[in-house]
Amino acid sequence: MRDFAEIFDEIVREYGARGFLYPGAGGLPVLVGELRSYVSSDLGVSIRDHEDLVVVSGAQHGIKLLSQLLLGERDIVITEDPTFWEAIDPMRFQGARLIGIPVDEEGMDTSRLEDLLRKGVKPRLIYVIPTCHNPCGYVMSIDRRRHLLEIAEKYDLTILEDDPYRPIAQDPPPSLKSIDRDGRVIYVGSMSKVLAPGLRIGYVILDRVLAIELSKLEQHDFSTSTPMQLLVARALKKGLVRSLIPRLRRHYSEKIRILVESLEEHLPGSFTRARCGFFTIVRLGVDAEKHLPRAIASGVIYVPAKDFHIEKKPADTARISISMPSKEEIREGVERLASSIRG
């Protein structure tokens, strides 16, 4: 945060009032340039010649704009089941119909996806969080990634890859975008996990023709603060982000390891074995909404996860987060959660 204050001060001194003018559509060129180099060098995500990077106010804003751009009444979107409910809310608002495909420790069950497509289902979009899935914490295997891309080619599908956790994931597999051969993947990234979510800076990488449409649509809200764009550009340029990545990767992988160990000890067999990211899903065996006040009384909070589910909505699922609590608090929290359930 001290670095932010220092950078903000530099921006005021160097840009003056120019640092506080309207942002142009699609992002300030200085930020677009820094993000392009960050994404390819630090995250290993390739940007092709026919693609552009568009700055948005966080990944969520990118997903909303893409929903507005791509989806209309009764369009079908296929997602992992469960999936991140905030991402699918704007899709539903556009009138899209969601179909969920089960996930396991290797990610979306692509053979189930193929079955559906064989039956003639024609989705407008496949929405996936293949790396550090929210809410399960899974990482899609390389084989499944390849299979998904094969299917996409065969059935002429567009994939929306939501990839906010890559900067904090220990040894993440290549993004779908990087192994895709024919430009079917729209990639959404974020600075929320590596810098801070309150800055509201994310980006979308997509085909240039679509990128122009997205930028036009972004002019309808023009919501990405100019000084925050300059701040992130400078944090990237100064190497602040690069120096954070290895620390954050160690930090969060240690926390996830502790979460899984604690769950194994206190609530064995009831949870998704998270590999990275912030979350895991736990089946409490009791109604998660109803139990919440008791959990809170014992000092634990979770998000009842019913709405993360697409097809069946089990009432006893809860999403647990490790983003804020310390390692000790994670251990303690799981223990308290388990004893609050036992009553």
**CA–CA dist 330, 258 (Å, integer):** 7
Q: How far is the CB of 144 from a copy of itself (least distance, A)?
A: 29
Contact footprint for a copy of itself (CB under 8 A) = 1-2, 4-5, 8-9, 12-13, 16-17, 19-23, 57-58, 60-61, 64-65, 67-68, 86, 89-90, 93, 192, 196-200, 217, 219-228
**CA–CA dist 36, 23 (Å, integer):** 18
Of 36 and 92, the one with the shorter C-beta distance to a copy of itself is 92
Which positions ≥6 away from 293 have C-beta within 8 Å?
Answer: none
Of 23 and 333, the one with the shorter C-beta distance to a copy of itself is 23
Q: CA torsion 273→278→283→286, rounded to 10°?
A: 160
Of 14 and 115, the one with the shorter C-beta distance to a copy of itself is 14
Of 60 and 134, the one with the shorter C-beta distance to a copy of itself is 60
Q: How far is the CB of 86 from a copy of itself (least distance, A)?
A: 7
Q: Which amino acid is at 83?
A: T
Pairing of strands 125-128, 76-81: parallel
DSSP one-letter string for 14-31: HHGGGGGSPPPTT--HHH
Give the closest residue to 123 by CA, choosing from 106, 108, 133. Answer: 108
Of 56 and 108, the one with the shorter C-beta distance to a copy of itself is 56
Q: How far is the CB of 192 from a copy of itself (least distance, A)?
A: 8
**CA–CA dist 307, 317 (Å, integer):** 10
Q: How far is the CB of 69 from a copy of itself (least distance, A)?
A: 10
Among all chains, which residue has been given the structure tokens 């979770």?
Answer: 302
Q: How far is the CB of 219 from a copy of itself (least distance, A)?
A: 7
